[in-house]
Structure 1
């Protein structure tokens, strides 16, 4: 699903800053891969590259078999929308929309016909265990439930890769375990999950770990 070869990202100065260098690793379908490292190590830069929100200065990045370096901006946007799902530390649920409404939002931007959106959103909410809260408003949900809505929104278009940035950072231990179990259940033969985390117990649940230190990303042994 993901293949990086000697990927680097340098930001123009002065002074010039190399935030990422020589990142070489892959992520296969059916895998959960954790990205770990101290603050300022380059994790965010790496995640932005993986999410097609930034372009490498050096190296190559293939996503779902596509050489992203050869794409024009419109093509990058289309690939990001169709192939990637994003989950962040803050759930970013929309307060005035119920669960179903929150999950249908990305489908509107993808041009999915209105008659299909509700069915797709309901399917996604069922997948995250919220089939009984379709019409619930965010202010009636627990922190863990709000994060489940965010995950449902991220998977509603059935992306091949789910990118998670500290998805359990705002949760207590019980909800953290619940969300991790959910993410594990979403990994399949045609989907991969990448989790950026500073929590060792989260990283321990991954199949493999990529450690980023001073901009250098190295895959650790399984």
Structure 2
């Protein structure tokens, strides 16, 4: 009798590769926020980006998330140089491959939790019933299946961030970018959100967290520190 085939876990691959990336903002006196930033991020890992205020962390995250463009250097996502893409292609990549979580939640206050979580799916080809099912599943995954009809104004800060997490992963992105996701939370909610972020790391999904909190950074697999625009 033939033995059943075994399925070896996929080896981590490089999902993000930056080489010599710089960012200078034009002004009477130009401001250089990033200088020769070089890094690699692999699938299946949680990476913390740390550094003092004004060091270039947010600029780096914005370039990673295709919300800003580099002034120089190369940035490849899954081997594709994003600087060669047109705005429509960048928008499509951002909408399908990337998820975002922000410190201030950015939920629409007059929409229910369910409708907030469905927003990334609105312009997809998924039927309405499927969009609802996926949003409900995402809310259940963060422990808020009982709050689908609630509005953000009735939720605690920790609950709002969990809704934001559900919204960020409802379209199953391969990279989740988090900008100070625990900055507005107390220690108990910080612990809960970090456990959820840790659980969202899969062999096919990477989580990147910008943080100034040492205990948050220590939960990551690796730390990239930004100092005076350099990644060290």
Could you tell me whether the CA contact under 8 Å between 1:98 and 1:135 is conserved in 2? Answer: yes
Q: Secondary structure at the match of 1:109?
A: coil
Partner of residue 26, structure 1? 40
Partner of residue 91, structure 1? 105
Partner of residue 195, structure 1? 209
Partner of residue 10, structure 2? none
- Asked if 1:138 is matched to 2:119, the reply is no
- Asked if 1:9 is matched to 2:48, the reply is no
TM-score (norm 1): 0.94
Partner of residue 50, structure 2? 36
In the alignment, structure 1 segments of 5+ residues that lack a partner are none
TM-score (norm 2): 0.90
Counterparts of residues 25-64 of structure 1 (less than 5 Å):
25-64=39-78
Moved more, 74-83 or 134-143: 134-143
Partner of residue 147, structure 1? 161
Q: Report the count of equivalent residues.
A: 218
Q: Of 97, 102, 105, which aligns to 2:119?
A: 105
Q: Residues 70 and 98 of structure 1: is their aligned pair in 2 closer, same or farther, counting only changes over 3 Å? A: same
Give, in angstroms, the shift of residue 111 of structure 1: 4.6
Q: Residues 60 and 131 of structure 1: is their aligned pair in 2 closer, same or farther, counting only changes over 3 Å? A: same
Q: CA RMSD in A?
A: 1.2
Distance, in Å, in 2 between the alignment partners of 1:138 and 1:43 is 28
Could you tell me whether the CA contact under 8 Å between 1:81 and 1:110 is conserved in 2? Answer: no
Partner of residue 165, structure 1? 179
Distance, in Å, in 2 between the alignment partners of 1:181 and 1:8 is 33
- Asked if 1:185 is matched to 2:199, the reply is yes
